[in-house]
Amino acid sequence: MQKKNITKYKPFPVVDLPDRQWPSRTIEKAPAWCSVDLRDGNQALAIPMNIKEKLELFQTLVRIGIKEIEVGFPSASDTEFSFTRTLIENDLIPPDVTIQVLVQAREHLIHRTFEAIKGARQAIVHLYNSINPLQRRVTFGLNRDQIKEIAIKGTRLVKELVRKTGGTHIKFQYSPESFSDTELDFSLEVCQAVMEEWEPTEEEPIILNLPATVELATPNVHADQIEWFCRNMKERSKAIISLHTHNDRGCGVAATELSLMAGAQRVEGTLFGNGERTGNLDIVTTALNLYTQGIDPELDFSGLNALRRDYERITGMTVHERHPYAGDLVFTAFSGSHQDAIKKGMDKMDASPGAPWQVPYLPIDPEDIGRTYKAIIRINSQSGKGGVAFIMEREFGLELPKKMHPEFSAVINKIADQGSRELKPEEIKEAFDREYLNLNRPLSLNAYQIQTPPDDHRHITFSAEILYQGEKRNIEGQGNGPISAFVDGLDLAGLKDFHLTDFRQHSITTGSSAEAVAYIEIQKEKDKSFIWGASIDSNIELAGLKALVSACNRAWSTERRDNKDSFPDNNEAVAAVFKL
């Protein structure tokens, strides 16, 4: 690369448009969409699609609602020609869908194209020739008048053949290839000459497709070009201005959006942006961008996951994990602060139909496009307490008390950090089970009995057989409930060195509806630290008692298990040490 004084490249010239209007406009409705997956997209594949694959993709495009589909370049190859004939002869084109065929402004290719579309209900004949100064000089060796004459002669021949074509409604589209790299006055001159030859009307307008064949400037420059063209052309109402942006600078979507604000009415692109070099405009991203602004894109992406799978299978391409809307990770947060904000947003979300979507970090409701909330939060060493709590609630129905979040999150973060990898929800649940459930040392509850005086239901007697440090003991206590009576019994037996500070329980919202979970927090008297215990049981009363046992055992444990190599290589518990 050159340094400092760069001579190989020059800034792209700006458009002289001091009173530009597009910056103050907004997009108010969806453009007309034209898919070029079967032509631009197909020619960019390492292994082009066969007729069967092209047919399946065509049907996919129809299913999501695209009404104009460029089916190929039928004069370029037998496969392209045969595919077009297959669609027509087998009546596979729905009445409301128009096929589009691409052809260079060359006589024999135009004739072959009309052979391909014979018998179609309607078709768009898309004529093009390259007009930019570099191609005029390097590729063709022709001047401006000679290049313009190619466009005029091609248009004249198409017009003649349309008159001879019975039964097919033909729309005409002209593309000055490399419009964005051509002098604006010459682009307009050529297009006006084509319009004069074609003689469009307001009822039957011409489509003028103004392609950024190679993206060479910032999106605002392309918008300026489109606005300048629209403002300076004659008989604007007799033309549909179409866009065909490429993505060489990574700004294809932005250039399209700004150019729609500048006056364009139609968009050509591909699913997920597949195309030559860095690709074409991404129809999926552009359409869903409109949707997030409250504009109906008139395309159906409610099954985006299935669409992506079909697309990948048919084309052999792969949609990137971070691809807008469709990527595996675009609705996933690993960062702790993001996870906490998302969880709070989901918890406070207005669930009434039509309510505004307001969840931090999520510009669109994943369910609107067939995604689920399952992968919104995923856990690694960067994750926070809110993310861990979200997984436990969404995946397993366990609503951990907020005060418990930091304690359990520390356990999970340590496991993830030591394993240097993401943890699956099942692994998080296994860690919870190991850390909190079924802890029976040094204390276990073997059997218990509760007696309630008939005249005073506020005071109960709790009798139990416990096992403490391997020794059976009988305890008895009184309280206003089973938990407080159990605590009193432990106190009378000289085993209580804590205060009960919190108790929560709820039915489990996923899985078996007969199970309940209980959480108990105790505070140790010596160091005033807080310890949580938990238990799951079909008996809600027993769940609370076992949660107290869990908290005591976690507090009374004098041995810390070495979790250095206990995860993920084996399934031993990873426990924190809490000593009295």
pTM score of the predicted model: 0.73
Q: Is 172 exposed, middle or buried (0-12, 13-18, 19+ CB in 10 A)?
A: buried
- Assess contact for 58 and 52: CB atoms under 8 A: no
pLDDT reading at 569 higher than 50: no
Going by C-alpha positions, the residue among 203, 198, 121 that lies closest to residue 163 is 198
CATH fit for domain 443-556, picks 3.30.160.270, 1.20.1530.20, 3.10.450.50, 3.30.1330.20? 3.30.160.270
- The number of residues making up the chain comes to 580
- What's the rounded mean pLDDT across residues 300-305? 95
The mean-pLDDT minimum among 155-169, 234-248, 298-312, 554-568 falls in 554-568
The pLDDT of residue 190 is above 60:
yes
Common-topology check for domains 29-315 and 443-556: no
Could you write out the three-class secondary structure of 292-321?
Answer: CCCCCCCCCCCCHHHHHHHHHHHHCCCCCC
Average pLDDT over residues 32-50: 95
CA distance 512 to 104: 66
pLDDT at 272 over 50: yes
Cis previous bond, 94, omega within 30? no
pLDDT digits (tens, 9 = 90+) for 452-479: 877 766 688 999 999 999 899 999 999 9
- Predicted pLDDT at 193: 98
**For tokens 């992506």, what's the residue?**
308
The pLDDT score that the predictor gives to residue 354 is 85
Check: CB of residue 381 under 8 Å from CB of residue 423.
no
Question: Between vectors from CA 430 to CA 427 and to CA 431, what angle results, nearest 5°?
Answer: 90
Q: Which helix (H) or strand (E) holds 210?
A: strand 206-212
CB 215 within 8 A of CB 246: yes
Selected residue with higher pLDDT from 285 and 393: 285
Using a pLDDT cut of 70, give the percent of the chain over it.
92
> In the prediction, which pLDDT does 53 show?
96
Average pLDDT over residues 417-436: 88
At 575 the pLDDT is 31
Q: For the residues 314-322, what does the mean pLDDT come to?
A: 93
Domain 29-315 has CATH 3.20.20.70: yes
pLDDT value at 558 more than 70: no
67-97 residue pLDDT tens: 999 999 999 999 999 999 999 999 999 999 9
318 pLDDT above the threshold of 70: yes
pLDDT band at 379 (very low <50, low <70, confident <90, very high): low
Amino acid identity, position 294: G
pLDDT confidence band for 390 (50 / 70 / 90)? confident
| Residue 299 near residue 65, CB atoms below 8 Å | yes
Question: What is the pLDDT at residue 1?
Answer: 92
> What residue segments make up the domains of the chain, in order of their start?
29-315, 336-436, 443-556
Asked whether residue 305 carries a pLDDT value surpassing 60, the answer given is yes
